[in-house]
Structure 1
Amino acid sequence: SVLREHTDDAAAADRLFEEFQAMFAEIKENVRQQHDADMPSPTPLKEA
């Protein structure tokens, strides 16, 4: 039915969106780590 196909499309879109979010989070983390490696903090954190 049309309703069933629409539901499947919505589920597929949700999965695609979740995969995109996970991929973006991974890329952002990689960039953050690379930035930290390139530019070490001039003032070390005082908190232990």
Structure 2
Amino acid sequence: MEFLVNNHNIDENRLQPYGVGPLAPQATNETEEGRQQNRRVELVKP
């Protein structure tokens, strides 16, 4: 979010950061490979 605000002049009031990795994993968190897949950033347009 900080990158988008500082480098692309996007109004921070338009952005809402949520940490959903633990709530919506794409892979198992039981292996390092799975944890790497779950470290991600997603941009969702409402």
Structure-2-length-normalised TM-score: 0.25
Kindly indicate whether structure 1 or structure 2 has the higher relative contact order, using CA contacts under 8 Å at least 6 residues apart: 2
Greater share of helix = 1
Structure-1-length-normalised TM-score: 0.25
